[in-house]
Amino acid sequence: MSEPFVNSYDPRVWAAAWSPQRSLDMREARRSSGRRQLVGIGVGGAVLLMGALGAWLSRPAGQPVVAASGEAAATAVPETQTVRRTLLLANASELESALQRFGLDAGMAGKVAAEARPALAPDGEVRAVLEVTRAGGALQFYRLQASNSDSSGAVVRLGEDGRLETSRLAAQVSEKIVVMHGIMDGDSFYTSAVAIGVPNSLISPFAKALAFDFDFQREVAAGDAFELAYAQSVNASGEAQGAPQLLYASMTTQAKSAAVYRFTPGGEEEGWYDASGRTVARSLMRTPVDGARITSKFGMRFHPVLHYTRLHGGVDFAAPIGTPIYAAAAGTVTSASPSSCAGNMVIISHANGMETRYFHLSRYAEGLHAGEPVAQGFIIGYVGTTGKCTTGPHLHYEVHINDEKIDPLTIQPDASERQSLTGAQMRAFEQVRDRIDVSRAQESS
């Protein structure tokens, strides 16, 4: 029954059209219609329910029940998962076998490894991040990122067409300056440096950098302070790459202090310079071996092997067998041959009638021979205990001037020998010095 439409502005017409009896009749009609609809739904639902129950009761024994939607049953699809694993390998040759152990078939593992291998260093650790997809129990390769320690490497992925696609990764290496401070203990500079974590490869360069200013056996004592700064290359993860390089070294004792900076003037060899740009090099190094302990000084003494008193014409430095021995000054090798008392011995002639001698070497530097020119600090051999005039591993070191033996510990460096940088070299040095000093200041703040 439709409701009347009243097209009039007269309220009396509205009232006639919407009489109370007519309103009651319409409400009753709506309730009757609703009851008929509910009855229809109930009957239809009952029919469906009875049909489903009959079908379930009449199914063959053991047949699974499949939920139905409309006329077609839904088919279950295995869920696809992405699995990601990080593999740390000793070198690139382990990549293929590692992929197989993870679950890739031999053919795919070989192809992926072959794609990545040209970008990987033959030696050194490899970090591989492997991603595969798993649908049910099957594994399918998806992506591999294989990196060297400097973050260079390759990314291999499975393309939409089923072929492998490879792209290279560039190295991500930066340099940082590390500053360290320490206090000398009662044993040696070596143990003092190791105690604060100084890399072992920097201990000898530190002593050599200050060798013209300090005798580490006589002028450095417990409580003295030292500082160093070194450059270290690091990868994107902050891991060290390659060997560190010493940039700055300083020592402060009760008597004096010295600080030196590494610098390479254009077209010349690198060296050590003070803050004002003056080279620290002198004609003669104070000691020709690092980390040694003086066990016998220059002068008359009773010889422990020969058993009589005679002039001990040099200084004995006790050090472990194999410790490097350096040329105390630039010169030419006069002799590199064994002697009955001195054992393996090296003699070097220098300018101004000076000669230095080195006894009891365990072995000579590779290829060292008479007539060879050597620079100051050049390794000429290694500490040993050869010859019959020794009771233990040490270096016996002598200085002769005009054929006269001189106490090496009494030779004072000549400050006039120190040369200063000028012009463009000085400006370049100042930039290097200021960069190091900024890092030192940041460390101290």
Domain boundaries, the chain: 1-37, 82-169, 174-273, 293-412
Q: H-type helices in 103-188, by residue range?
A: 106-116
**191 — phi, psi (to 5°)?**
-65, -35
CB of 144 closer than 8 Å to CB of 112: yes
Q: What is the pLDDT of residues 383-399, one digit of tens each?
A: 999 998 888 899 999 99
Which class is 293-412 in CATH? mainly beta
Name the amino acid, one letter, at 355.
E
CB of 151 closer than 8 Å to CB of 240: no
CATH code of the domain occupying 82-169: 3.10.450
19 band by pLDDT with thresholds 50, 70 and 90:
very low
Would you give the DSSP letter of residue 289? B
Res 167 pLDDT > 80: yes
Tell me the HSE value of 327 on the side-chain side, using a 13 A CA sphere. 27
Separation between Cα atoms, residue 368 and residue 381, nearest integer Å: 8
Tell me the HSE value of 370 on the side-chain side, using a 13 A CA sphere. 7
Q: Could you tell me which of 244, 249, 252, 242 has the C-alpha nearest to residue 263?
A: 249
Instruction: Quote the pLDDT of residue 293.
Output: 76
Question: b vs e for 61-79, b when ≥16 Cβ sit within 10 Å of the residue's Cβ?
Answer: eeeeeeeeeeeeeeeeeee
Q: Residue 57 is encoded by which pair of tokens? A: 């009761």
Q: Residue 318 is encoded by which pair of tokens? A: 């006790």
Q: Which helix (H) or strand (E) holds 326?
A: strand 324-326
Res 193 pLDDT > 60: yes
Lowest mean pLDDT among 72-81, 199-208, 368-377: 72-81
- Fold match between 174-273 and 293-412? no
CB of 255 closer than 8 Å to CB of 261: no
CB of 95 closer than 8 Å to CB of 146: yes
Fold of 174-273: Nuclear Transport Factor 2; Chain: A, (3.10.450)
pTM of the model: 0.58
